[in-house]
Homo-oligomer: A and B are copies of this chain.
């Protein structure tokens, strides 16, 4: 009986937003979960509980696919809020880089990623796409917390506390990939840091590995005006043109940021069916510029949303980014129609799954997909009255409305409590110790 109730059960909610291709918003349905997968979605009226399943009745709640954070650096949570009031150069040169240089280690990355995972999970995020040093430590943190993660094998042309040179980054990355091959919740990508920190030669090798191993390429692109100017000085062309010439670009390429795009960039993005991940809060907080969400949607294969790392956001919750994306899209010159709440929400779910090439497994509520789910309690006084549950969640709500989070059908967070073996207090204390090492 116990096995049965855990592996085969139902959830009854007032609303379910499926994020399927019809963008169906269902009212008063029951979602049946079996062995970690979505088994059936049945109108409550026509449901008869012949198998005597446990049915969790959530009342005035909205169930959505688990949110997918399409770009982050989890471990940078140890720098959350450092030098918030500083400009980019001072922020990087006086705070971020010295702190990383001083402390970077497997232990730091594990501790900080674990805290980041707890924050993301309690913000309704079930999958994240990460890029940082010691990817094995972040992958381990994700498995301990019980999340799904696509972890980048990072490449950067300088020595760090993690690796020495391209070959070293590659060897360590591939070893990490092998070590986690049996882990259902961990997938990997190749993650060259950015055009200004990776050489042509390295990019070519990365393209070869991507083809041979069937991995995506996850890379920062066109984040700042400086980056473009620098590329023109060094390579005579803009970064996207350079990477296009190198054969890097295609539907397996995930270009993060893309704040600065001219018409030649848009042509490349369209022709090569690139995926874009926008991180609007981070872009504006670092004064990199305001991403043009509408332009991205009109040109990229997929547009997904990411929080970026905690150091530049400073929330690992997609809700600030979703609302800001909506506000920016409405404010963009020439926009004819407002992005509706379903299209907006899809950027945090199915579009992100498409971006990661995981659309067959996650990103929408459909039969045979993995049961990665979130329920939001919409009975909160802050959300009343409700004309549209999805727009209510986006514009009036946020992570404080997260009620339950399931990964593979397993409840991982419920009513503000984590359901895993992580000692939350000790996790917070460890971060305070790391912070003290920076400050002193």
B384 & A428 in contact (Cβ 8 Å cutoff)? yes
- Segment at the B interface, from A47-55, A216-224, A261-269, A430-438: A430-438
B85 & A338 in contact (Cβ 8 Å cutoff)? yes
Q: Does A287 contact B (CB under 8 A)?
A: yes
- The prevalent SS among residues of A at the interface is helix
The docked-state distance in angstroms from the alpha carbon of A86 to that of B341 is 11
Known: A290-B331, A327-B284. A315 touches B387 (CB 8 A): no
Q: Does A59 contact B (CB under 8 A)?
A: no
Give the contacting residue for A118; candidates B314, B381, B387, B394; CB below 8 A: B381
Q: Does A392 contact B (CB under 8 A)?
A: yes
- Segment at the B interface, from A37-45, A75-83, A163-171, A175-183: A75-83
B385 & A327 in contact (Cβ 8 Å cutoff)? no
| CB nearest neighbor in B for A332 | B287
Chain B residues with CB under 8 A of A339: 85
B284 & A330 in contact (Cβ 8 Å cutoff)? yes
Chain B residues with CB under 8 A of A310: 396
Q: Does A324 contact B (CB under 8 A)?
A: yes
Min Cβ gap A319→B in Å is 10
Q: Does A6 contact B (CB under 8 A)?
A: no
Min Cβ gap A8→B in Å is 32
A313 & B395 in contact (Cβ 8 Å cutoff)? yes
Q: List CB contacts (< 8 Å) of A387-439 with chain B.
A: 387-388, 391-392, 394-396, 398-400, 424, 427-428, 431-432, 434-435, 439
Chain B residues with CB under 8 A of A77: 384
Q: Does A122 contact B (CB under 8 A)?
A: yes
| CB nearest neighbor in B for A78 | B385
Chain B residues with CB under 8 A of A313: 395
> What would 21 A/B residue contacts be, using CB atoms closer than 8 Å?
A78-B385, A80-B383, A81-B383, A81-B386, A81-B387, A81-B395, A84-B341, A84-B394, A85-B340, A85-B341, A85-B388, A86-B338, A87-B337, A119-B382, A122-B381, A285-B395, A287-B331, A287-B338, A317-B382, A320-B323, A324-B324
